[in-house]
Structure 1
Amino acid sequence: MAAHFPINHHLRPLYRLLCVVAGLYMLVFGVVGFAQTSGNDFFTQDKAEWVLGLRTNAAFALLSLVAGVVVLGANLIGRNLAHYINQLAGIVLTIVGMGSLALMQTEANIFAFSMVNVIVTFILAGITGVASLYDRVGSASDAEAEEHFRHGARVAVSEGGAGGA
């Protein structure tokens, strides 16, 4: 069975706006965090700073800055680039959140994550991941073909089960 991603969903602008806000948050956090931690060691854990409610060091701030530029840029450009970047961002942020949760109280916590960082990472993963389900763009004929496939598959299943021998 093929994955179902609606084409030209009527709430697509709302989901893109949410991803723009998420990308903007990552970008601003990265810029402010990098400015505040620029004098510290890149992967410091004991001299991490609190920026916009999250704990950070220079490495995590720089990573957030890059992620913010990518998510924000893709959603400002739009088209299916936003769909694929949002899908990738949702997956990567979920993995980062899970990994950071597992490594939080160890020496391997190179990005100086706290529990708040993990929660915000999962929220951003949810926003970008859910948006990727509804932000696919296509021509009117593509949207019509997708709708036909979606409803046609359902009709074929119900017709096959309704008739009995």
Structure 2
Amino acid sequence: MAHTPVNHPLRPLYRALSFLVGAYLVAFGVIGLIQTSGESFTGASDVRVLGQGSNMLWSIIALAVGAIVLATAALGRNLDVEANKYLGWAVLVIGSYELATSRTDANFFGFTIATVVATYLVGLALITAGLYLKVAPQSQVGAPRQVREGRPA
């Protein structure tokens, strides 16, 4: 994308944000697996993990997504850009589905409204980090915005 910033000066901050989101998802997944070990695999349950509703399926998915985010954030090399963008959108789609089905039998992730809000925040944080983490050699960066717009640098 032409409008995606490359070598953004706040890249370390966004990488730290990516690490924090991944660590949160891993912690949520591990605690969720422990607390939902005797519960049903899918469907709404009364189990609360870090103040959110969860079940075994959502705990496994959160753990897997968090592990991927942590691994790609540690590797860098623009793998984290793609992983954060696609996983962020996937998490937003799951959150939207669960918002639409929160009080029905189709709520097979066991979400509550607090879980939907947290899921949206996680998805948006991943997308935002993915937009600002791209790196490239200085020769491929292009002119700064001021120069492209004809203003003095």
Superposed pair shares fold, TM > 0.5: yes
Structure 2 unaligned blocks of 5 or more = none
Q: How many residues align?
A: 151
Per-residue CA deviations over 1:66-89 (Å, capped at 9, x if unaligned) read: 011011111111120011011112
Report the equivalent of 1:43.
42
Q: Determine which of 154, 160, 165 is the counterpart of 2:149.
A: 154
**Stretches of structure 1 lacking an aligned partner (at least 5 in a row):** 159-165
CA RMSD of aligned residues (A): 1.6
Could you report, residue by residue, the CA deviation over 1:37-96 in whole angstroms, capped at 9, with x for unpaired residues? 111111142x34111121111011011000110111111111200110111122112111
Give TM-score, length-normalised by structure 2. 0.91
How far is the alpha carbon of 1:135 from its aligned partner?
A: 0.4
Partner of 2:99 in structure 1?
A: 101
User: Structure 1 vs Structure 2: percent identity of aligned residues?
Assistant: 35
Secondary structure in structure 2 of the residue aligned to 1:136: coil
CA distance in 2, matches of 1:4, 1:90: 19
Between the aligned partners of 1:102 and 1:26, the Cα distance in structure 2 is 22
The alpha carbon displacement at 1:152 in A equals 6.0
Query: Which residue is 1:162 aligned to?
Result: none
How does 1:1-165 map onto structure 2 within 5 Å? 2-45=1-44, 47-143=45-141, 145=142, 147=143, 150=145, 154-155=149-150
Superposition TM-score, scaled by structure 1 size: 0.85
